Amino acid sequence: MGRAQGGSRSRHRSRAAGAGMSSWLATLPCSRAEADMAALLDDPFPGAEPMPSLAAAETADGWELRLYHEEEPGADLLAAFAALAPSSAAAPSVSLLPDEDWVTLSQAGLEPVDIGRFHVHTGEAQGGQKPGQWPIRIDAGLAFGTGQHATTAGCIAMAAGLAKQGSKRNVLDVGTGSGLLAFAARKLFPKARLTAADLDPVAAKVAVENARLNGVPLGRGAGAISLLAAPGVEHPLIAGRAPYDLVFANILAGPLVALAPSVSAVVARGGHLILAGLLQPQAGKVIAAYHAQGLTLINRSPRREWPVLLFRKDAPANRRAALRGARRETAGRGWQIDSL
């Protein structure tokens, strides 16, 4: 397997494999839009056991999807893999890899990314940090969020713009994945109290490990991050800390719409909400959902495929409404569905 040229995007939901274990690689040509969409899928192969690892990479010939598996992938898994790239006329190419750690291999194409003052890198590829930059090491492994994807970079850029306007004291990251947005927020707002949650307990554990790698303190005080496993805002600590003067939600369009009542309710009056993970054709429905909750769209990133939306709230926060909304959303599991 050649090293990816350019960058790669990955959403790994795999069981870590140790060195000395043979593994299989399936590759499939795809469009850039298909690569971006695959990077955001929460569970691309439901029920697959052992769980595969999915990555997307830019090669010298274009874009391709890569599936890593401990066993030779069967017909059903290959069919599900092929369905992720309907533009491809080719069947997936399957090969046996040598004895190596295939989770590490699946991140081999993740080059360092510079996002404003931030230098985001993995342990395998640290790159050249420029003077004055803030390094953040993210080993995504089993969680989403390495800084490669336009949505993550757009959220950080939007937050950096807010930091120039003033400080934030209470920040929430909904769907934190690897923890990258929460770590960047801590640098931008060093006196803030930060809360970060993901509905996937594995992702929450990955974020805790990434916090350790970056020397980020965990806890409830200013400058520390509380990392939780929770769907949306349904958690006593999240509700108890509301209202928040900055909330991130970088997930998918369907969950963003489903979570609109509860997420909007925990934003403080005068606070800001940054939404991402939606495609351009989905933006109208997402914007309408949050307008209906009394939020005003005040900025929108110029990215064509993956817009990042910045809202301001002019009405008071309502923790009781947030709890009611969260319980209703969780009961229907609407936050797990991307149906737009």
Q: Please enumerate, by residue number, every residue annotated as part of a binding site.
A: 152, 175, 198, 250
Q: Are 145 and 176 spatial neighbours (Cβ–Cβ below 8 Å)? A: yes
Q: What are phi and psi of 318, to 5 degrees?
A: -140, 95
Q: Please enumerate, by residue number, every residue annotated as part of a binding site for S-adenosyl-L-methionine.
A: 152, 175, 198, 250
Cis peptide before 50 (omega within 30 of 0): yes
